């Protein structure tokens, strides 16, 4: 199976340094342009995407809509792929370092999901896709920066089985509208093909932050 984890397009909160978490924020004009570019890119992938899953948060569903139209697929909405709950920190304007520390799981926000609980949810979401769509060659999931970083952490730390000779992926900041391309082999081992692939977004604004 080829699994494409797609980060949603930009929101005003992204551009302003506001930690969104599970808030119902909408794409801005740049975000819609990123979603359109992402939809065009998804049409070129091999093998072609057969299933499109999306987080139930508004910004993810708005990103998934043009992809669904381009690929002629229905959206499978799954709240397991929503962003981490940041509790009391949601809606706050944070500095870049504080956002990174919170989003990357370095600290646990008051009233939010702990790093352990969040990463367990992401691991279960990955297992669910692998089991539910086991007969499909390629699945795309529209999700969030924190989820993608958690998936990379699971691979980097060995909490997800990795294929032999697979180098641990680097958890760089995740651009809006970018692609993480993973594969899952018959033994249940994961491989990283592309990380933070945003070649289709050249010329558009990029914000490297959480949510």
Distance (Å, whole) CA 84 – CA 43: 29
Distance (Å, whole) CA 38 – CA 42: 6
Among the listed residues 2, 65, 83, 153, the single catalytic one is 83
Name the fold adopted by 2-201. Answer: Rossmann fold (3.40.50)
C-alpha 161 chain-centroid distance: 19
pLDDT by residue (tens digit) across 6-56? 999 999 999 888 888 999 999 999 999 999 999 999 999 999 999 999 999
b/e per residue, 7-29, with b = 16+ CB within 10 A? bbbbbebbeebbbbbbbebebbe
Q: How many CB atoms sit inside 10 A of residue 177's CB? A: 26
In this prediction, residue 205 carries a pLDDT of: 63
Three-state DSSP class for 27?
A: strand
pLDDT by residue (tens digit) across 51-100? 999 999 999 999 999 999 999 999 999 999 999 998 888 888 866 556 55
Distance (Å, whole) CA 139 – CA 171: 22
Distance (Å, whole) CA 156 – CA 154: 6
Whether residue 73 contacts residue 51, with contact meaning beta carbons closer than 8 Å, is answered with yes
- Annotated catalytic residue 153: no
b/e per residue, 107-136, with b = 16+ CB within 10 A? ebbeebbebeebbebbeebbeebeeebeee
Q: Domain ranges in the chain?
A: 2-201
Distance (Å, whole) CA 170 – CA 59: 26
Among the listed residues 2, 8, 144, 153, the single catalytic one is 8
Distance (Å, whole) CA 170 – CA 203: 24
Predicted structure pTM score: 0.91
Helix (H) or strand (E) holding 15: helix 12-16
In this prediction, residue 168 carries a pLDDT of: 59
- Annotated catalytic residue 144: no
Whether residue 157 contacts residue 21, with contact meaning beta carbons closer than 8 Å, is answered with no
pLDDT by residue (tens digit) across 108-140? 777 889 989 999 999 999 999 999 999 999 999
């Amino acid at each position: 199976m080829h699994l494409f984890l797609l980060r949603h397009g930009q929101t005003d909160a992204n551009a302003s340094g506001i930690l969104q978490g599970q808030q119902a924020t909408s794409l801005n004009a740049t975000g819609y342009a990123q979603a359109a570019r992402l939809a065009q890119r998804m049409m070129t992938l091999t093998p072609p995407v057969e299933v499109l899953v999306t987080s139930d948060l508004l910004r993810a569903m708005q990103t998934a809509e043009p992809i669904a139209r381009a690929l002629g697929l229905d959206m499978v909405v799954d709240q397991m792929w929503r962003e981490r709950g940041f509790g009391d920190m949601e809606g706050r304007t944070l500095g870049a370092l504080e956002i990174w520390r919170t989003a990357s799981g370095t600290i646990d926000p008051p009233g939010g999901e702990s790093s352990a609980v969040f990463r367990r949810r992401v691991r279960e979401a990955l297992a669910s896709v692998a089991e539910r769509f086991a007969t499909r060659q390629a699945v795309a999931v529209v999700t969030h920066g924190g989820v993608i970083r958690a998936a990379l952490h699971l691979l980097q730390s060995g909490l997800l089985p990795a294929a032999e000779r697979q180098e641990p992926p680097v958890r760089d900041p995740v651009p809006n509208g970018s692609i993480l391309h993973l594969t899952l082999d018959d033994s249940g081992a994961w491989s990283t093909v592309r990380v933070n692939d945003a070649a289709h977004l050249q010329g558009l604004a990029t914000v490297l932050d959480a949510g």
